[in-house]
Amino acid sequence: MGLFKKDEAVKESSILEALRIVNDPDLNRDIVSLGFVKDLRINDGNVSFTIELTTPACPVKDQLKAEAQSAVAKLPGVTGVEASLSFKVTSKISPQAKALIPHVRNTIAVASGKGGVGKSTVAANLAVALMKFGAQVGLMDADVYGPSIPILMGASEQPQVVGARIIPPMVRGVKLISMGYFLPKDEAVIWRGPMLHKMIQQFLGEVEWGELDYLVIDLPPGTGDIQLSLCQTIPLTGAVIVSTPQDLALEVASKAIAMFKKLKTPILGVIENMSYYVCSHCGQRDEIFGHGGARKASQKLGYPFLGEIPLSSIIRSRSDGGEPTALDEGDSQYAKVFRDVASAVAAQVSIANYNAPQTVSIE
Amino acid sequence: MDLVPTSIKLAAPGGVAITWNDGHQATYSYAYLRKKCPCATCRDKPPEVKTESDPFPILGKGPIKVTGAAQIGHYAIQFNWNDGHTTGIYSFSYLREICPCEQCRMKS
């Protein structure tokens, strides 16, 4: 302290005041009133603090850190600034969810109206990408008719049953459960509604999910029993809609959107899969299903557009081989595509939690 | 804005009292709410609702009453009744639609 005159000493209040100019663009508030600034330490002119983000996949984390550092560095008397990042995934747990999955912070359903748009591929890569960012992630394959998640994830371990609880295997860093585990290879699920309802309840309540930041739920196509049961059993954090850019798929996707709207399940946004094809020989981009259909549709309906994923033989062969592309490190272009989509989804989850209405009090 | 209840009091004077996020408030009598049950069985054949005390209460269950309720997802509430009925899922928009207050009845 002796180096400065008293009026030049750096005060906590003036640092917090300076940090108020740093805005989280997603939540549209400054990081001080959001309570993101933690562990503020002042040692003479050296200031250090942590910015606690709402997700490790925050798309603007580096920007926030740089803005915060420069805001504080400008203050008189400050000689050094050390900002670090941490994260605590936010959540809005309802009494219903608490009874079934008490330690799962967020539930994200991956849905589409039409089948064959790559919903499961997107769900698997979304889960892996969120895990790679450092989140604790589970993946529930609720597509009982065509459980493809175990193949996509290359799962060889089986779930364990301990007492009345099912312990999901950890596959590529993600806790996984699927009907595929409980069914011989050539058998099919031919069930009526009540059985499907029971399965959803068991996959939530009897599986030992433990502590998760995100539980990604891969739904079957359509707007049937499984979708309804899931939306009734727990209030989902939100749903993401997967569509190809073609009019036909978008037409059916709008049915899924209408269903979630009716059930008041927040729609986190739309992901466009098979957006374009890049020829592996000449590199020419071919827009097989048309251009930007899902982006236009999401904008028209007022939902965020979460990104486009190309049609690629690499993604296809890695999916069939059970090694999701999102596992790749560094500058793999397809891993980056999924990382960006996961960031966009995680940002929307934070926004949904921030805007979530109060739960109804029933007494 | 989506209209959703903020508070549901199951044993308010006169029945079930609901307060909405737009400030609207109303009390639904048990008999009215039970008669308006949206489940398939009740829609097909409206339920007989007992409103009077039984002259021999030891035989019957007395007038209709809500005994419990649970929220269903983000969009609805399910009531349990003392006549054993539990299958009615009342969506928030349906509850608002059948709001028995004078103001809402005038509108419809």
Per-residue pLDDT reduced to its tens digit, A118-163: 999 999 999 999 999 999 999 999 999 989 999 999 998 999 999 9
Closest alpha carbon within chain B to A261? B75
| Contact residues on chain A for B74, CB-CB shorter than 8 A | 231, 235-236, 263-266
pLDDT of residue B101: 92
In a domain, A6, yes or no: no
Whole-angstrom distance, CA of residue B11 vs CA of residue A361:
13
Residues A30 and A102 in one domain: no
Reply yes or no on whether the pLDDT at A255 is more than 90: yes
| Distance to chain A for B55, nearest Cα, Å | 30
Residues A79 and A130 in one domain: no
> What residues of chain A, 89 to 148, have a C-beta less than 8 Å from chain B?
94-96
Range of the domain at A60: 11-87
In a domain, A5, yes or no: no
For chain B, the 3-state helix, strand and coil shares in percent, each to the nearest 5, are: 20, 30, 45
| Contact residues on chain B for A234, CB-CB shorter than 8 A | 73
In a domain, A360, yes or no: no
Residues A18 and A53 in one domain: yes
What type of residue sits at position A297? A
Contact B72 A232 (CB under 8 A): yes
A9 exposure class (CB count in 10 Å sphere: 0-12, 13-18, 19+): middle
In a domain, A138, yes or no: yes
| Distance to chain A for B102, nearest Cα, Å | 24
Contact A232 B73 (CB under 8 A): yes
Residues A212 and A228 in one domain: yes
- Name the residue facing A358 among B6, B10, B74 (closest C-beta): B6
Residues A71 and A100 in one domain: no
Domain boundary among A87, A119, A147: A87
Domain count along chain B? 1
Contact B6 A263 (CB under 8 A): no
Residues A37 and A134 in one domain: no
Residues A24 and A120 in one domain: no
pTM equals 0.90
Contact B70 A362 (CB under 8 A): yes
**Mean pLDDT, residues A248-259:** 92
Backbone angles phi, psi at A262, to 5 degrees: -65, -35
- Name the residue facing B9 among A266, A358, A363 (closest C-beta): A363
Domain count along chain A? 2
Contact B4 A95 (CB under 8 A): no
Reply yes or no on whether the pLDDT at B36 is more than 90: yes
pLDDT in tens, B60-108: 567 899 999 999 999 999 999 998 899 999 999 999 999 999 989 888 7
Beta bridge partners of B9: B17
**Residue A239 near residue A210, CB atoms below 8 Å:** no
Edge to edge, what strands does the sheet with A80-87 contain? A37-43, A46-53, A80-87
| Contact residues on chain B for A236, CB-CB shorter than 8 A | 73-74
**Residue A278 near residue A232, CB atoms below 8 Å:** no
In a domain, A363, yes or no: no
pLDDT of residue B59: 56
Domain boundary among A54, A87, A120: A87
| Contact residues on chain B for A94, CB-CB shorter than 8 A | 71
- Non-local (6+) Cβ contacts of A83 within 8 A are A48, A49, A50, A51, A65, A68, A69, A72
Closest alpha carbon within chain B to A266? B74
pLDDT in tens, A180-220: 998 888 888 899 999 999 999 999 999 999 999 999 999 99
Residues A169 and A79 in one domain: no
pLDDT category of residue A5 using cuts at 50, 70 and 90? very low
| Distance to chain A for B56, nearest Cα, Å | 30
The CATH number covering residue A17 comes to: 3.30.300.130
Range of the domain at B67: 5-107
Per DSSP, the three-state class of A26 is: coil
Residues A147 and A251 in one domain: yes
Domain boundary among A50, A67, A87: A87
**Residue A294 near residue A271, CB atoms below 8 Å:** yes
ipTM over 0.85: no
Residues A216 and A315 in one domain: yes
Instruction: Choose the weakest-confidence range: A115-119, A280-284, A301-305, B11-15.
Output: A280-284
Residues A147 and A187 in one domain: yes
- Name the residue facing A360 among B2, B4, B89 (closest C-beta): B4
| Distance to chain A for B37, nearest Cα, Å | 18
Tokens of A92: 């809005």
The CATH number covering residue B59 comes to: 3.30.2020.30
Q: Show which residues on chain B lie within 8 Å of chain A, measured between beta carbons.
A: 2, 4-10, 21, 69-77, 89, 92
In a domain, A152, yes or no: yes
Contact A362 B74 (CB under 8 A): no
Residues A153 and A44 in one domain: no
